[in-house]
Structure 1
């Protein structure tokens, strides 16, 4: 799930970078890229995969 979120954030960052768009002073292409990297890191950690305890 986090990999899909990361892909969408990277796509938005690319579009913002190409178009030179920024939403206010907070949401820029760099902000979206960093959020995408965070989502990739969470995905690689296994967050959201539904871990179960084996007994």
Structure 2
């Protein structure tokens, strides 16, 4: 789930950068890209991956 979120954030970041959209200081393409990297790192770490490891 977080991998899909990070892909969407990367795409939004690309659109902001490619279209040269003027945004405020909080919603820049770099900040959106860093949010995507954070979501991707959490996914790689196993958080939000959808797997439930239970012991019997």
Uncovered stretches (5+) of structure 1, i.e. residues with no partner: none
Which residue of 2 is the match for residue 28 of structure 1?
A: 28
- How many residues end up aligned between the 2 structures? 55
Deviations 1:7-44 (A, max 9, x none): 00000000000011143111010001000000000000
Residue of structure 2 equivalent to 1:45? 45
Instruction: State the superposition RMSD in angstroms.
Output: 1.2
Runs ≥4 in structure 1, deviation > 4 angstroms? none
Scaled by the length of structure 1, the TM-score of the pair is 0.88
Structure 2: unaligned runs, 5 residues or longer: none
Matched, 1:14 2:14: yes
